[in-house]
């Protein structure tokens, strides 16, 4: 993901697409559907719908909070972008391996009043992968136009997730478990490729920085 500099007119559709696809793959709405239905199954339809938008709203707040304060935190800790890219790549690889291998914790059958907040809102939706990826995009933003594209992409992803969760009952009937499993594996493969690219960019940045300082 190359750095972007300068100001442009309009929304950067390329950046919007990169952020949207990356976050959508990380959040993995098809893989979230079985967990969501398992956690909210005993609830009435009205409460299940409310849980969907509450979880998405919390995830949006958490991701935006880290997007806004991420640069300040990095500056305070004296952490360079290449180090964050490498760490983010490692985190994304862990998430990708879970998607590819089908490893997942068994959801609890007990439904609590805050089920929409934990674990749906966080860490399932606003997990470390989504947070780190968002911080990386913000770090590489070149101005207000980039920030606008990133913000719109985050909102678009959250709206997509809400639609999937809101109508998850019907979607599961159409895709069936086999279709959801296939989509989850594809998402894991794409996420692994994104993670490898992040690590490769970090290594290249470290090498360039070393050569410039030599």
Q: What is the pLDDT of residues 82-92, one digit of tens each?
A: 887 888 888 88
Nearest partner of 73 among 139, 5, 2, judged by Cα: 139
User: Is the confidence at residue 6, as pLDDT, over 60?
Assistant: no
Q: Could you give the CA distance from residue 96 to residue 129 in angstroms, rounded to a whole number?
A: 10
Provide mean pLDDT across the span 9-19. Answer: 85
pTM over 0.75: no
Q: What is the DSSP letter of 126?
A: S
* Residue 42, pLDDT score: 66
8 Å CB contact between 183 and 31? yes
- In this predicted structure, the answer to whether residue 144 has a pLDDT above a threshold of 60 is yes
CB 67 within 8 A of CB 187: no
Tens-place pLDDT, residues 118-130: 778 887 898 878 9
Q: Which residues contact 150 (CB under 8 A, 6 or more apart)?
A: 15, 16, 19, 67, 134, 137, 138, 141
Q: How far apart are CA 139 and CA 84, in angstroms?
A: 10
Residue 135 pLDDT > 80: yes
CB-CB contact of 188 with 97 (8 Å): yes
Range picked from 9-18, 46-55, 97-106 for highest mean pLDDT: 46-55
What value does the mean pLDDT of the chain take?
A: 82
Distance CA 47, CA 137 (A): 35
């Amino acid at each position: 993901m190359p750095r972007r500099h300068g100001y442009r007119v309009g929304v950067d559709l390329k950046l919007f697409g990169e952020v949207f696809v990356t976050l959508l793959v990380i959040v993995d709405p098809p893989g979230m559907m079985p967990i969501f239905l398992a956690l909210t199954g005993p609830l009435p339809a009205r409460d299940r719908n409310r849980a969907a938008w509450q979880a998405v709203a919390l995830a949006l707040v958490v991701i935006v909070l880290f997007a806004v304060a991420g640069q300040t935190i990095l500056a305070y800790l004296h952490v360079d972008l290449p180090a964050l890219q490498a760490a983010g790549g490692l985190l994304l690889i862990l998430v990708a391996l879970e998607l590819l291998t089908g490893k997942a914790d068994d959801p609890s059958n007990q439904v609590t009043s805050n089920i929409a907040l934990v674990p749906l809102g966080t860490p399932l939706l606003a997990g470390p992968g989504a947070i780190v990826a968002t911080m990386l995009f913000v770090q590489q933003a070149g101005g207000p136009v980039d920030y606008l594209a990133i913000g719109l992409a985050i909102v678009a992803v959250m709206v997509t997730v809400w639609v999937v969760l809101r109508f998850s009952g019907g979607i599961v009937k159409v895709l069936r478990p086999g279709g959801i499993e296939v989509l989850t594996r594809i998402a894991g493969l794409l996420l692994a490729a994104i993670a490898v690219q992040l690590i490769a960019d970090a290594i290249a940045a470290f090498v360039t920085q070393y050569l410039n300082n030599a």
